[in-house]
Amino acid sequence: MTSTRPSGRAADALREVRITRGFTRHAEGSVLVEFGDTRVLCTASVEESVPPFLRGKGEGWVTAEYGMLPRSTHTRSAREAAKGKQSGRTQEIQRLIGRSLRAVVDLKALGERQITLDCDVLQADGGTRTAAITGACVALHEALDKLVVAGKLPANPMRELVAAISVGIVDGRPVADLDYAEDSSCDTDMNVVMTASGGIVEVQGTAEGAPFSRAELDALLALAERAIAQLVEAQKRALAG
């Protein structure tokens, strides 16, 4: 069957993935991640203290914040700083990124320090949260490596890499890595966060139109598994580079 995807991609084909380390110079980790036209700047900032609820417990913390530049989107969105609050969507995404990264870090081994991942979308074309997780993982790894080099940690406390992909049912067909055109017209949208070894960290599937069946869910998970493997390869190449 020939592709009906707007981009002409095969159902399981990802967009071109680029992970550029050192995109900016002040942060302990700084990565520009691109899934096709989606571009997210992910920086990791190390702070030698933890939030109040963790003080004195000998554990560290990893957290994330997410934002979109007002004109990263097709039409301009109001700036959240000007509106005076972050939308529910923003908060959902930054909580998801934080949870996903904490799932692969040994927080005891990190010690009483906090690492904040700032994921700022420079250009949006669908899949910003999955790109953000994938890029933030590399930025976090980079920052942790620097702590090892600086003698502050004996070893990198990241247990394994973690990446994320969106999959969905578009025109009745399961596809991977939805771009904006697909994202706005799909029936079902699912974000999957998995580790390098195939462990599932997060699954969030939503019926946008009609409910989906268990068989469809299985097909989406299979697509996600293959995609994550490719993303982890890209992360490894970036970290080796």
226 assigned binding-site residue: no
**DSSP class of 155:** S
205 binds a copy of itself (CB under 8 A): yes
Widest pairwise Cα distance in the chain: 60
Residues 41-80 as x/- pattern, contact with a copy of itself by CB under 8 A: x-x-x-x-----------------x-x-xxxxxxxx--xx
Residues 131-150 as x/- pattern, contact with a copy of itself by CB under 8 A: --------------------
CA-based radius of gyration for the chain: 18
Residue 128 · residue 32 · CB < 8 Å: no
# residues near a copy of itself by CB under 8 A: 66
The span from the CA of 51 to the CA of 211, in Å, is 40
Between 2 and 74, name the residue whose CB sits nearer to a copy of itself.
Answer: 74
Residue 98: CB partners within 8 Å, gap ≥ 6? 62, 63, 64, 117
116 binds a copy of itself (CB under 8 A): yes
Tell me how far, at minimum, the Cβ of 74 lies from a copy of itself, in Å: 5
The span from the CA of 90 to the CA of 36, in Å, is 22
Q: Which of these segments, 53-61, 164-172, 213-221, 227-235, binds a copy of itself (CB under 8 A)?
A: 213-221
Which residues fall in the annotated binding site for phosphate? 89, 127-129
